[in-house]
Structure 1
Amino acid sequence: MDGKLLNNNFLRAANGEAVDHIPVWYMRQAGRSQPEYRRLKEKYSLFEITRQPELCAYVTKLPVDQYDTDAAILYKDIMTPLPSLGVEVDIKPGVGPVINNPIKHIDDVEKLGMIEPEEEVSYVLDTISLLREQLHVPLISFSGAPFTLASYMIEGGPSKNYYNTKAFMYAQPQAWHALMDKLGDMTIRYVKAQIRAGAQAVQIFDSWVGALNAVDYRLYVKPVMKKIMDELKEEKVPLIMFGVGNRHLMQEWNDLSLQVIGLDWRLSVSEARDLGINKALQGNLDPAVLLAPWDVIKEKVKPILDEGMQKDGFIFNLGHGVFPEVDPETLKRLTAFVHEYTKKK
């Protein structure tokens, strides 16, 4: 039985409807800067936490209880489904995801399997079901997008320039499109399973696709993203796209069957709307501002809220994720400020 949804401002904003106050949630709000989470990480790895539904639900729910956010985002990683495909991935502290068997040729792509979510990531689905009983706000789940996942799979880990990924894309287009198809099908199956389990919204992280120009995006990535979004549209839950450094791709994303576009801190809400973006918008305080004095934070937040409130369909968030140095009390104070400021308006 689902917990009673007492606060649906996030879902209403995602669908472009009027709200009582601007809803707030933070990327990477679960974990990172919370002392309770850090104590858990002394005993468990990220993957170990996600494989224990009760523990994972606790980590997911913690920021909702502490900060009074208007949505929870499931604690996991975009790498979570990749082992099901035969990808050997480890998350190393201070480094990030490391792939031990990177993709080099079409043979490597053809060896990849396909995910069976109910069997291979049942712990994710169990956590979602558990959270639906516990939460009074909507639950967001997520997946990595094919380009971003492929970049890790080809580079073997994080990259600053994505040279190997682009070289693979240009030199082996047949293998590239085969990889996009494989990852696209995985994304659809993985996300649909999460929605069946009870996820009420889904964010697709194409974190690094801004490395491509618009022409290459249209040729090498957009077809698979259109397929994913068209398939997921039938599930009737809000779909959010997010990436960084992708101002030049805004119109491309606006074409897709999604409800919300997440902005990084480089593009303002007003600028996005001036570009003709007609989706709901989410964002976009620079996370670094959270280390500034409170008076500075407040003055940086006000213009974002003022621009956001000019039209229905705005969700306050950061322009990227919370990082470990952020004081949890700052996030609590920020959430309260957004709620109070926008209620008055």
Structure 2
Amino acid sequence: MKFPVLKNDRLLRAARGEEVDRIPIWIMRQAGRYLPEFRELRSKHDFFSICQTPELAVEVSLQPVRRFDLDACIIFSDILVIPQALGMTVEMRPSIGPVLPNPIVSPDDISKLDSRADICKKLGYVAEAITLARHKLDGKVPLIGFSGAPWTLMGYMIEGGGSKTLSKAKAWLYENPESSKQILKLLTDAVVDYLIMQACAGAQLLQVFESSAEHLGPELFKTYALPYIRDISSRVKTGIKTKGLDDIPMTIFAKGAHYALKELAGSGYDVVGLDWTIRPEDARAIIGNSVTLQGNLDPCALYAPQNELKQLAKDMVNKFGKIRYIANLGHGIYPDMKPENVEILINTIHES
């Protein structure tokens, strides 16, 4: 598949540990509710209709790239398209967020999942959106594809939505260890197929979101998250080579997994994303320069006065250092954020 020549490859170079002329920056959830142009489009379309309509998904993906001097575009989608592909109903309810009205309650419910689902067929609309986005970007910046990680997806599928404790999902790990591994293996297979499909469609970097790692301690993470995270990176990279594609950098973002930074650095990913609750210098001391670090400004820092925001951004860069570093927030941007503050952050990073 032939695409326009890439003009800004800072993100990819930084991910591979190569020199860059300035620190690259993109922002998790950079396409979404804080932008007035997104809210206007969203008022006319259901959330998952946007995800499932390539033209709309691409329009939303490109909105922040048109507005800001970002170094990457991320395809607009949702991690819960995988449970959808496996036969679960997922709704996006106003003021609530994602809801799965028929969650997995007992091990018997696993048989209700479509374990033979053709992920590439079910989620082909994401591939179409990625290919279209690559052409619409015209090489301006690289395009990021992504997926949720198995433990995070399992949490939603059992809890029936977001949870502050994930107590139902964690209970499964203790009460139904083999059934838990059965679900995680099913999800891992789906994620692998999904990410290889995205690479074939034109994604230039792939990020895996283990957003619920903070609910696991070291032992549970070692048993129920890390093996599947490692399996994904290994199988996706092998699958990409088998397809005759060039190597594509991969990022693992495990929110709250301070206890596993060394293990994450050795899990086969090129980039380790960090949340805002760890000091950059501590993360660098643990990981060194073996992989690229990404992050990790507190999303709430964007509420700060402009001068303070600039100083916070400069301090972050100084603490990480400019080698093997991608600037980002420590989690997704909040929906009431002022776009002008986002611009200040981006410009400050580029000037650092």
* Offset of residue 115 of structure 1: 3.7
Match of 2:243 in 1: none
Match of 1:198 in 2: 202
**Unmatched runs of 5 consecutive residues or more in structure 2:** 241-246
Q: Take 1:48 and 1:3, find their aligned partners in 2: how far apart are those partners?
A: 28
Q: Take 2:108 and 2:197, find their aligned partners in 1: how far apart are those partners?
A: 28
Match of 1:70 in 2: 71
Provide the secondary structure at the position in 2 that maps to 1:176. Answer: helix
Match of 2:234 in 1: 230
Match of 2:304 in 1: 292
Amino acid at match of 1:241: I
Amino acid at match of 2:293: L
Match of 1:221 in 2: 225
Amino acid at match of 1:61: L
Q: Take 1:333 and 1:276, find their aligned partners in 2: how far apart are those partners?
A: 29
Q: 1:40 to 1:149 in 2, by over 3 A?
A: same
Provide the secondary structure at the position in 1 that maps to 2:287. Answer: coil
Match of 1:97 in 2: 98
Amino acid at match of 1:295: N
- 1:208 has 2:212 as partner: yes
Aligned pair partner of 1:145 in 145, 149, 153? 149
Matches within 5 A, 1:1-345: 1-113=2-114, 114-135=116-137, 136-234=140-238, 235=240, 236-277=247-288, 278-310=290-322, 312-341=323-352
- Paired residues of 2:299 and 2:334 also in contact (CA < 8 A): yes
TM-score of the superposed pair, with normalisation by structure 2:
0.94
Deviates more, 1:5-14 or 1:242-251: 242-251
Amino acid at match of 1:276: I
* Offset of residue 189 of structure 1: 0.5
**Unmatched runs of 5 consecutive residues or more in structure 1:** none
Deviations 1:312-336 (A, max 9, x none): 2100000111111111122122212
* Offset of residue 309 of structure 1: 2.6
Q: 1:124 to 1:276 in 2, by over 3 A?
A: closer
* Offset of residue 220 of structure 1: 2.1
Deviations 1:88-121 (A, max 9, x none): 1111122221112211222212331144233212
Q: Take 1:321 and 1:272, find their aligned partners in 2: how far apart are those partners?
A: 20
Q: Take 1:291 and 1:45, find their aligned partners in 2: how far apart are those partners?
A: 29
Amino acid at match of 1:13: A
Q: Take 1:131 and 1:175, find their aligned partners in 2: how far apart are those partners?
A: 39
Deviates more, 1:6-15 or 1:267-276: 267-276
* Offset of residue 252 of structure 1: 2.0
- Paired residues of 1:290 and 1:326 also in contact (CA < 8 A): yes
Provide the secondary structure at the position in 2 that maps to 1:275. Answer: helix
- Paired residues of 1:105 and 1:175 also in contact (CA < 8 A): no
Q: Take 1:117 and 1:189, find their aligned partners in 2: how far apart are those partners?
A: 7
- Paired residues of 1:81 and 1:115 also in contact (CA < 8 A): no
Q: Take 2:36 and 2:280, find their aligned partners in 1: how far apart are those partners?
A: 33
Amino acid at match of 2:156: Y
Provide the secondary structure at the position in 2 that maps to 1:189. Answer: helix
* Offset of residue 222 of structure 1: 1.9
TM-score of the superposed pair, with normalisation by structure 1:
0.95
Q: Take 2:321 and 2:284, find their aligned partners in 1: how far apart are those partners?
A: 12
- Paired residues of 1:263 and 1:319 also in contact (CA < 8 A): yes
Amino acid at match of 1:117: I
Deviates more, 1:40-49 or 1:23-32: 40-49
